[in-house]
Amino acid sequence: MFADYRRDYLMTEAQQWAELALQIKNWAAELGFAQCAVSEPDLTLASERLQQWLQARHHGSMEWMQERAELRSHPEKLLPGTLRVISVRMDYLADNSMLAVLKSDDKAYISRYALGRDYHKLIRKRLAQLADKIRAAIDAMPLDASQPELIQRPFVDSAPVMEKPIAEQAGLGWIGKNTLLINSEAGSWFFLGELFTSAPLPVDSSDQTDQCGNCRACLTTCPTDAFTAPYQLDARRCIAYQTIENRGSIPVELRGALGNRVFGCDDCQIFCPWNRQPAQTQQADFAPRHQLQDSQLAELFMWSEQQWLERTAGSPIRRIGYRGWLRNLSVGLGNWSDAAAAIKVLQSRADIDDQLVREHIDWALQTQRQRLDDQP
């Protein structure tokens, strides 16, 4: 009889956790997340692939990826007590002018994720609100007194978390040949966030199996041939790495391929068939600011440091600093098809004495003068 009572009690408790899991998804939707799912991630295979990638030095100068690889592979070591990971997705695409800007080489292409306000604070705040709701609900549940104290912590692309493999196991999508998470209904223009928790929530099953098939669109359209093979990216050749993570000189052999991409690159998303009808953001904070979705290279190059600081306040663009901004724009001006106009703009910034920036300005001037000489 006691066994029957105990079994009924456990079933009731399990049902409570299942009900809470459903409620968490409702709360996540109310907080602006497009999708929410729970996993108990097994990162064994993902960790092996990470080690192979690091050993090949495909991470370039991002040494922090190697230094914290152990924590990245074991969520329970990053936050002791972790049993589950709640993964969320938030769509960010607010502008569809990507191709038009890329084709207009007098304009500056800025990765679409960086056009609005910085996503880190916004998503972390929403995850913290979700965590508060979960804590309040668990406090009200008639659980066994031996239930350990709830442990929770939100993460948004700022800690050693394998967000894509974790989200894949939760069912938010599959990791495509472009190494990005792709969702069959939403495409790939979205941010990911995680809430590590000690709550023993039921795990969601994934129906998002790899659907890339024989497609090679992302591999063949990459301007710098950064993909060494399907599902393998050499960051050292990636434009996003060169324009954001690289703090030094951009390799000369890659500068021409950068075109007008001055902060990041979206080509492997733009040409992905799963992004033909991408989900649009519902978040006003992700809307483009200061017309950065359609600005002239020359105009941005003329911004003073004070103007840059004012117009990039609260933006992911702040990551590269004013120096990186001018470096990248110099390359963009060096690739502008109007050589005479580009030379005039480049020469107008004789006030710049930073050695790194001047190197890229000199390259751009030499490139454009050669273009003029080659004209019939």
- Cα-Cα-Cα-Cα dihedral sign, residues 180, 191, 279, 88: positive
Place of tokens 């990186």: 324
Structure tokens at 224: 């710098």
Q: β-pairing, 84-91 with 35-39?
A: antiparallel
> Comparing C-alpha atoms, which of 47, 265, 60, 36 is closest to residue 161?
47
Place of tokens 């990971």: 85
Q: With contact defined as beta carbons under 8 Å apart, do 113 and 264 qualify?
A: yes
- Give whole-number Cα distances, 266 to 11, 96, 223, 240, 375, in Å: 48, 12, 10, 8, 32
Structure tokens at 148: 């350990």
Question: Which segments of 266-336 does DSSP mark as H helices, in order?
Answer: 267-270, 297-301, 305-311, 321-334
Catalytic residue among 95, 106, 157, 285: 157
Structure tokens at 292: 């950065």
Residue 151: CB atoms within 10 A of its CB come to 14
AA letter at 47: S
Q: How far apart are CA 86 and CA 13, in angstroms?
A: 20
AA letter at 271: F
Structure tokens at 278: 């991408």
- Cα-Cα-Cα-Cα dihedral sign, residues 182, 186, 189, 195: negative
CA 192 to chain centre: 8
Beta strands of the chain (E only): which ranges? 35-39, 84-91, 107-110, 152-155, 174-175, 181-182, 190-197, 227-229, 232-233, 261-263, 295-296
Q: How far apart are CA 234 and CA 251, in angstroms?
A: 14
> Comparing C-alpha atoms, which of 283, 199, 279 is closest to residue 23?
199
Q: Is residue 157 among the annotated active site residues?
A: yes
The residues annotated with a catalytic role in the active site are 157
